[in-house]
C-alpha cells in the first residue's frame, strides 16, 4: 500500500526515511491574489480554498498558515497585542473582565482602547480591501501599544490577566478535513519569547532598541508579565490536540541580532520545547528570515521543524548549508525560495539547475518537506510548481545519492571577509565623541560637544572630523557585520542629540545638509524596518531625509519629487511582487521630464544590482551602511 501525504510527512518529521521527499507548496497568497483578480488557472476558477488546488494536483498540505482574513473581526481585534482568536488555535485568550476594550472603526482602520486599572493602552491597525485583494493575511499595525514609559504597567496588567481557555473542539474542526492529505499545526505563540513579542508586536521595530536602552527595567518587568501568559498558553497547547505546535515566527539576524537572540529568545524556545516534548508534542518555528547569524542558536533551540526555510539566493544561507547544519536533528520545511517561481527573477534554465542540484544538496534526503518559502508568490509560473512535483516524483526517491551542491548564482554563498575595525575621527580631540557615538550616549555627547565649543574648537571640524567620520565608520562596521542594528540606531540617536547642540554654531554653509533625499516603500509593500534603518543612517551622516512611509504610489513619489526637489529618491521593496513598482516610478519620472533632476537609489532584500541596472536606477545598496556610501557617491560628496 502506498504512503499517504500525512504518513510521509510525519515519518519525515520523526527522522525516518519514507519512500520519497514530501512536497507541499504553500498556496495561500497565490490563491487569494489570483482569485481576487480573476487570474486563477481555468480548472480552479470555481475553487473556494487553496487546499482544493493542492488536492487536485496531488500535492501535500501543511496547515500552518495563519489565515486571519476569513475568521471575522473578533479574531483579529487584538492584533496589536499579538493575541488572536483563530481556528488554528487549541485555546482562546480573553481579556480579563476588568479590562474594557473599546473599538472604533474608521474605514479600513480599527482603533482600540484598553482601559485597565493601571491605565489606558491605545492601538490601531489597518486591514484594507487592497491588502485582502493582494492576498495579505496579516493586518498592519499602524499604532503600536508600547509608545512610552506610561504604557508598560497597563500592558503588563493586560497580559498577566489574560484568561486562556482551551478550545479543543475548534482545532479539531479546523484540522480534521485535512484527513491524510497533510498535517496541521496548532498555533501557540506568535513570537519566540516575551521579549521578542515586545519587539515584534508591541513596539515599532526600530523604536524597540531605544525603549530597550532607556527603560530596560520596565521592559524586563513587562516581559515577565507576558511570560505569565506565554506559560499558560504553552501548558494548554501541550495538553491540547494536534501533534505539532507553532512557537515563534520571523526571526532575522539583523532584527533579532545574535546576542539578543541568545539572551532573550533562545532560553524561551528551549523552555517551550521542553514543555511540549514532555507531553509528546513537537515544536515548529517559522524561520523565514535571514538566519546566517542564528544557525547555531536555532539548532540548540529544541525546535523539531524549521518552517519556511528560505535559502539563497533570497537569503545568505544555501539549502546545502541548512541541511548540513540542521538536517541531523531538525526537519527542514521549505527549501525553494519563492523567487525561483518568477519568470522575471529566474530563468527556466536557472530554475531547472536549482532543482537538479537540490537533490544532491539534501542527500540522503530525509528530514526535508519540500515547499516554497515563504509562500508561492501571486505571479508564480504555475507550471514550475508542477515541474517540481514531477522531479520529486522522479528524482526524490529516498535515500538520495550524495553529491556536491553547486549554487545557482555566485552571490548565493557569501561569507564576506570582515574588514578590521577602521579608526575614524583619528583626531585625538574627538576621541570622546567617537566613544559617545559608539556607545550611543545621547546625554553625555551634548556636554562633550559643548566642552569642545568652549575650548574654541571649530564647529565645522567637530562635525566633519569628529561626528561624521565616526558615523561613517559605524556604518562601515555594520555593513561588515562588526556592529549590530541597535548599536547603529543608538549611535544615530546620539548623533542627532549632538547636532542639536552644534547646529547653532555652524556657519550657514556648514549648516547645510549634505544632500536631500526622499525615501519610501513602494506601493503594495508594508515592510518598513529596512527603509527606516536606511533613513536613520543617512540622517546620521548629515542628509536631510523626508520619509514618505510605506505603500507609496508612483504618483505620490512623483508629486513629492516636484514638491521637495530632492537630490536622491530612495525606493525600498521587500516583496518580489512589488519590485515592478520601482520601474514604474522611474518610468514615471522620465515621462514627467524629471529623470535628470533626481538620482534614484533602490534597495530591499529581493532587489539585486542586476535588477537595479535593468530598471534604470542610478544606485543600489545592499544594506544601510552601503546606502550611505551610494548616496554620497550619487551626489558627488565623499
Q: Is 574 in the site for ligand B1M (CB under 6 A)?
A: yes
Angle between helical axes of 624-634 and 469-479 (0-180°, round to 10): 130
Count the neighbouring beta carbons within 10 Å of the beta carbon of residue 173: 11
Axis crossing angle, helix 485-502 with helix 444-454, rounded to the nearest 10: 40
Cβ contact 585:520 at 8 Å: no
Residue 363 sits in the site that holds ligand B1M (CB under 6 A): no
CB of 158 to ligand B1M, least distance (A): 21
Of residues 254, 353, 460, 480, which one binds ligand B1M by CB under 6 A?
254
User: How many CB atoms within 10 Å of residue 216?
Assistant: 10
- Structural contact between residues 268 and 198, judged by C-beta atoms closer than 8 angstroms: no
Of 71-79, 134-142, 148-156, 187-195, which part binds ligand B1M (CB under 6 A)?
A: 134-142
| Ranges within 576-605 binding ligand B1M (CB under 6 A) | 576-577, 601-605
Only one of the segments 9-17, 491-499, 559-567, 573-581 lies at the binding site for ligand B1M (rule: CB under 6 A); that segment is 573-581
**Rounded Cα gap, residues 383 and 21, in angstroms:** 19
Phi-psi region of 163 (alpha: psi -120 to 50; beta: other; left: phi over 0): beta
529 binds ligand B1M (CB under 6 A): yes
Contact between 248 and ligand B1M by CB under 6 A: the answer reads: no
Which grid coordinates belong to 289?
Answer: 528570515
For ligand B1M, the closer CB: 153 or 252: 252
Residue 291 near residue 301, CB atoms below 8 Å: no
Number of residues this chain uses to bind ligand B1M (CB under 6 A): 48
In the complex, the smallest distance separating the C-beta of residue 69 from ligand B1M, rounded to whole angstroms, is: 9
Report the candidate in 353, 357, 350 with the shortest Cα–Cα distance to residue 319: 357
Looking at the Cβ atoms of 99 and 249, the one nearer to ligand B1M is 249
Of 275 and 340, nearer to ligand B1M (C-beta) is 340
Strand order in the sheet with 368-373: 61-63, 182-189, 244-249, 282-286, 305-309, 331-337, 368-373
Instruction: Provide CB contacts within 8 A for 182, sequence distance 6+.
Output: 5, 6, 9, 24, 54, 60, 61, 62, 63
- 8 Å CB contact between 152 and 219: yes
Residue 137 touching ligand B1M (CB under 6 A): yes
Does the footprint of ligand B1M cover residue 205 (CB under 6 A)?
Answer: yes
27 belongs to the binding site for ligand B1M (CB under 6 A): no
Stretch that binds ligand B1M, among 147-155, 432-440, 566-574, 584-592 (CB under 6 A): 566-574
- 306 counts as binding ligand B1M under rule CB under 6 A: no
Interface with ligand B1M (CB under 6 A), residue from 8, 531, 539, 632: 531
The CA distances from residue 536 to 188, 370, 435, 441, 528, in Å, are 35, 39, 19, 16, 12
CB of 131 to ligand B1M, least distance (A): 6
User: Does 566 contact ligand B1M by CB under 6 A?
Assistant: no
Residue in 358, 441, 491, 519 binding ligand B1M, rule: CB under 6 A: 519
Contacting ligand B1M within 604-633 (CB under 6 A): 604-606, 621, 623-624, 627
Part of the chain binding ligand B1M (CB under 6 A), chosen from 33-41, 221-229, 372-380, 385-393: 372-380
Q: 167 or 568, CB closer to ligand B1M?
A: 568
- In this structure, the strands spanning 140-143 and 119-126 are antiparallel
| Largest distance between two CA atoms of the chain | 88
The yes or no reply on residue 497 touching ligand B1M (CB under 6 A) is no
CB of 327 to ligand B1M, least distance (A): 19
- CB of 33 or CB of 275, closer to ligand B1M: 33
Residues numbered 265-294 forming contacts with ligand B1M, rule: CB under 6 A: 288-290
Give all strands of the β-sheet with 119-126 in edge-to-edge order.
100-106, 109-116, 119-126, 140-143
The yes or no reply on residue 69 touching ligand B1M (CB under 6 A) is: no
Instruction: Report the residue count for the chain.
Output: 638
**Segment lying near ligand B1M (by CB under 6 A), choices 386-394, 444-452, 521-529, 609-617:** 521-529
**Minimum CB separation from ligand B1M for residue 583, in Å?**
15
DSSP conformational letter for 289? S
By C-beta, is 112 or 605 nearer to ligand B1M?
Answer: 605
Residue position matching grid coordinates 541568545 = 262
CA distances to 323, 341, 348, 389 from 383, rounded to whole Å, are: 27, 9, 11, 10
Give, as ranges, the residues between 374 and 413 that touch ligand B1M (CB under 6 A).
Answer: 374-375, 377
Give whichever of 241 and 311 is closer to ligand B1M, judged by the CB atom: 311
Give yes or no for a contact between 154 and 119, defined as CB atoms under 8 angstroms apart: yes
Q: Rule CB under 6 A: is residue 256 a binding residue for ligand B1M?
A: no
Whose grid coordinates read 509560473?
381
570 in contact with ligand B1M (CB under 6 A): yes
Q: Is 33 among the residues that bind ligand B1M (CB under 6 A)?
A: no
- For ligand B1M, the closer of residues 9 and 485 by Cβ is 485
Residue 401 Cβ, how far from ligand B1M at the closest point, in Å?
A: 29
Q: Write out the DSSP string of 456-504.
A: T--HHHIIIIIIIHHHHHHHHHHHTTSS-HHHHHHHHHHHHHHHHHHGG
Among 24, 27, 29, 317, binds ligand B1M (CB under 6 A): 29
Contact assessment for residue 569 and residue 538, using Cβ atoms and an 8 Å cutoff: no
Q: Is 487 in the site for ligand B1M (CB under 6 A)?
A: no
Q: Does 89 bind ligand B1M (CB under 6 A)?
A: no
Extract the runs of DSSP E, i.e. beta strands, from 117-181: 119-126, 140-143, 163-166
Residues of the shown chain interacting with ligand B1M in the complex, contacts defined by CB under 6 A = 29, 136-138, 205, 250, 252, 254-255, 288-290, 308, 310, 315, 338, 373-375, 377, 519, 524-531, 533-534, 570-572, 574-577, 601-606, 621, 623-624, 627
Amino acid at each position: 500500500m502506498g504512503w499517504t501525504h500525512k504518513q510521509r510527512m510525519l515519518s519525515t518529521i520523526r527522522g525516518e526515511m519514507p519512500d520519497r521527499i514530501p512536497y507541499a507548496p504553500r498556496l495561500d497568497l497565490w490563491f487569494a491574489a489570483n482569485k481576487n483578480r480573476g487570474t486563477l488557472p481555468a480548472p480552479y476558477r470555481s475553487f473556494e480554498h487553496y487546499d482544493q488546488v493542492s488536492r487536485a494536483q496531488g500535492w501535500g498540505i501543511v496547515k500552518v498558515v495563519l489565515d486571519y482574513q476569513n475568521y471575522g473581526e473578533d479574531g483579529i481585534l487584538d492584533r496589536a497585542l499579538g493575541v488572536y482568536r483563530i481556528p488554528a488555535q487549541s485555546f482562546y485568550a480573553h481579556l480579563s473582565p476588568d479590562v474594557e476594550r473599546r473599538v472604533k472603526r474608521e474605514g479600513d482602520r480599527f482603533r482600540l482602547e484598553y482601559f485597565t486599572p493601571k491605565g489606558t493602552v491605545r492601538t490601531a491597525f489597518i486591514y484594507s480591501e487592497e491588502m485582502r485583494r493582494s492576498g495579505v493575511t496579516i493586518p498592519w499595525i499602524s499604532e503600536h501599544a508600547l509608545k512610552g514609559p506610561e504604557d508598560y504597567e497597563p500592558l503588563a496588567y493586560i497580559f498577566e490577566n489574560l484568561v486562556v481557555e482551551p478550545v479543543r473542539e475548534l482545532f479539531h474542526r479546523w484540522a480534521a478535513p485535512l484527513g491524510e492529505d497533510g498535517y496541521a499545526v496548532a498555533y501557540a505563540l506568535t513570537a519566540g519569547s516575551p521579549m521578542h513579542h515586545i519587539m515584534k508586536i508591541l513596539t515599532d521595530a526600530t523604536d524597540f532598541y531605544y525603549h530597550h536602552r532607556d527603560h530596560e527595567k520596565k521592559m524586563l518587568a513587562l516581559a515577565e508579565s507576558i511570560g505569565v501568559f506565554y506559560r499558560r498558553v504553552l501548558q494548554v497547547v501541550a495538553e491540547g490536540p494536534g501533534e505539532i505546535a507553532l512557537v515563534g515566527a520571523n526571526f532575522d539576524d539583523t532584527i533579532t541580532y545574535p546576542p539578543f537572540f541568545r539572551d532573550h529568545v533562545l532560553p524561551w524556545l528551549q523552555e517551550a520545547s521542553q514543555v511540549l516534548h514532555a507531553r509528546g508534542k513537537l515544536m515548529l518555528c517559522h524561520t523565514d528570515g535571514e538566519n546566517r547569524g542564528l544557525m547555531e542558536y536555532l539548532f540548540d533551540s529544541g525546535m523539531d521543524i524549521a518552517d519556511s526555510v528560505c535559502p539563497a539566493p533570497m537569503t545568505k544561507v544555501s539549502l546545502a548549508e541548512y541541511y548540513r547544519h540542521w538536517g541531523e536533528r531538525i526537519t527542514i520545511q521549505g527549501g525553494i525560495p519563492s523567487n525561483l517561481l518568477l519568470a522575471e527573477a529566474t530563468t527556466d534554465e536557472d530554475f531547472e539547475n536549482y532543482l537538479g542540484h537540490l537533490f544532491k544538496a539534501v542527500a540522503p534526503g530525509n528530514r526535508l518537506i519540500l515547499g516554497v518559502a515563504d509562500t508561492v508568490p501571486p505571479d508564480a509560473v504555475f507550471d514550475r510548481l508542477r515541474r517540481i512535483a514531477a522531479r520529486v516524483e522522479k528524482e526524490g526517491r529516498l535515500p538520495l545519492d550524495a553529491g556536491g551542491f553547486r549554487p545557482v548564482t555566485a552571490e548565493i554563498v557569501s561569507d564576506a571577509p570582515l574588514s578590521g575595525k577602521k579608526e575614524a575621527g583619528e583626531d585625538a580631540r574627538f576621541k570622546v565623541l567617537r566613544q559617545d557615538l559608539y556607545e550611543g550616549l545621547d546625554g553625555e555627547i551634548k556636554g562633550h560637544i559643548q566642552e569642545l565649543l568652549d575650548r574654541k574648537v571649530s564647529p565645522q571640524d567637530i562635525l566633519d572630523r569628529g561626528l561624521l567620520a565616526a558615523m561613517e565608520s559605524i556604518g562601515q562596521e555594520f555593513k561588515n557585520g562588526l556592529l549590530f542594528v541597535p548599536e547603529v540606531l543608538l549611535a544615530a540617536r546620539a548623533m542627532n542629540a549632538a547636532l542639536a547642540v552644534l547646529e547653532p554654531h555652524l556657519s550657514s554653509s556648514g549648516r547645510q545638509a549634505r544632500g536631500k533625499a526622499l525615501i519610501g516603500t513602494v506601493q503594495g509593500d508594508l515592510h518598513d524596518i529596512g527603509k527606516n534603518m536606511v533613513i536613520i543612517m543617512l540622517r546620521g551622516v548629515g542628509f536631510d531625509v523626508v520619509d514618505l512611509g510605506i505603500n507609496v504610489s508612483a504618483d505620490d513619489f512623483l508629486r513629492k519629487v516636484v514638491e521637495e526637489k530632492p537630490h536622491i529618491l530612495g525606493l525600498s521593496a521587500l516583496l518580489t511582487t512589488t519590485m515592478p513598482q520601482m520601474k514604474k516610478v522611474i518610468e514615471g519620472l522620465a515621462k514627467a521630464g524629471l529623470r535628470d533632476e533626481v538620482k534614484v537609489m533602490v534597495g530591499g532584500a529581493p532587489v539585486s544590482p542586476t535588477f537595479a541596472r535593468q530598471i534604470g536606477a542610478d544606485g543600489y545598496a545592499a544594506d544601510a551602511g552601503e546606502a550611505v556610501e551610494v548616496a554620497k557617491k550619487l551626489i558627488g560628496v565623499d
